[in-house]
């Protein structure tokens, strides 16, 4: 079949359906032990998104009424809000590169295969239910210093501060982090260094971030440690799964910034 034919067929909703065994982590609540449960699922279209596949499975469970549908977080379903996040076949956000779980399509999976789905696993991200975890630790890290302190109404004219294209672009690359937590989920140490370093980099290289530079670095690193995230041992797993392709170089930047802050006596 040519690509054009298959496109037309797909477009006509006539694409061949796929079947899977979906093996999912079910956990009633924080204190429940939890276990993997398997569900056969037929009539999956290749052009369905991964989360739509779960919607379909949930619809079946709702209609049967024998057990509760699977809880999972998702919101924008276009890869920007950071709400969704599943470990699929052992990989955070699944097989796609530079994509979130919601941007994954069923055509990426072999017909007849078993797909395992688990939540982010980290001590700092306790499971709320099934595939839903509590990521409020990230908010508390930002709360410790992930901002430039400026009250509304006190800003000077935006063009009074010149920032080169290169610098703005570099800051943007770091600021693109969506706070999904895949970096933590993929790390054997459950380290949050990529997340923290992205925010530190974004603000510490811009002129707006200079007054609080050292204070911010130390406060955010300390908050990260308090939340129970592990240390970085240079496995680069975080970069490999990051949907926004945040680079591990930011982590070395963070280490240098931390050292500088300590030398400066902060």
Q: What 3-state DSSP class applies to 36?
A: strand
Angle ∠(240,47,245) on CA atoms, nearest 5? 20
Task: Between 133 and 193, name the residue whose CB sits nearer to another protein.
Answer: 133
Say if CB 56 and CB 49 are below 8 A apart: no
Give the start-end residues of each E strand in 112-205. Answer: 114-118, 127-129, 132-133
Q: Which pair of structure tokens corresponds to residue 73? A: 């977080």
Q: Which pair of structure tokens corresponds to residue 106? A: 């069923």
Task: Between 129 and 214, name the residue whose CB sits nearer to another protein.
Answer: 129
Site string for another protein, 82-121 (x = CB under 8 A): xx------------x--x---x-x-x--------------
31 binds another protein, rule: CB under 8 A = no
Cα 80 to Cα 62: distance, rounded to the nearest angstrom: 29
Task: Between 73 and 118, name the residue whose CB sits nearer to another protein.
Answer: 73
Give which of 68, 78, 51, 221 is closest to 145, Cα–Cα. Answer: 221
Residue among 39, 116, 176, 239 that touches another protein (CB under 8 A): 176
Site string for another protein, 237-256 (x = CB under 8 A): --------------------
Residue 30 CA to chain centroid, in angstroms? Answer: 21
68 binds another protein, rule: CB under 8 A = yes
Residue among 75, 111, 245, 249 that touches another protein (CB under 8 A): 75
Candidate segments 86-94, 167-175, 186-194, 230-238, binder of another protein by CB under 8 A: 167-175
179 binds another protein, rule: CB under 8 A = yes
7 binds another protein, rule: CB under 8 A = yes
């Amino acid at each position: 079949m040519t690509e054009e034919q298959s496109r037309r067929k797909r477009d006509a909703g006539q694409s061949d359906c796929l079947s899977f065994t979906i093996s999912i982590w079910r956990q009633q609540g924080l204190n429940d032990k939890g276990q993997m449960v398997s569900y056969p699922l037929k009539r999956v279209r290749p052009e369905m998104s991964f989360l739509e596949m779960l919607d379909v499975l949930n619809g079946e469970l709702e209609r049967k009424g024998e057990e509760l549908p699977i809880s999972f977080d998702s919101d924008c379903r276009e890869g920007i809000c950071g709400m969704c996040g599943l470990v699929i076949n052992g990989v955070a956000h699944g097989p796609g590169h530079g994509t979130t779980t919601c941007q994954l399509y069923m055509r990426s999976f072999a017909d007849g295969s078993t797909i395992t789905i688990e939540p982010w696993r980290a001590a700092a991200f306790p499971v709320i239910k099934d595939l839903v975890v509590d990521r409020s630790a990230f908010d508390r890290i930002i709360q410790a210093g992930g901002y430039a302190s400026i009250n509304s109404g006190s800003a000077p004219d935006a063009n009074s501060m010149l920032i080169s294209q290169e610098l703005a672009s570099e800051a943007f690359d770091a600021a693109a982090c969506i706070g999904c937590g895949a970096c933590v989920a993929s790390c054997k140490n459950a380290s949050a260094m990529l997340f923290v370093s992205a925010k530190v980099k974004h603000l510490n290289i811009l002129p707006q971030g200079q007054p609080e530079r050292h204070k911010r670095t130390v406060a955010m690193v300390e908050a990260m440690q308090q939340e129970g995230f592990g240390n970085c041992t240079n496995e680069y797993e975080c970069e490999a799964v990051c949907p926004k392709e945040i680079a591990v170089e930011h982590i070395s930047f963070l280490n240098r910034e931390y050292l500088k802050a300590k030398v400066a006596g902060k």
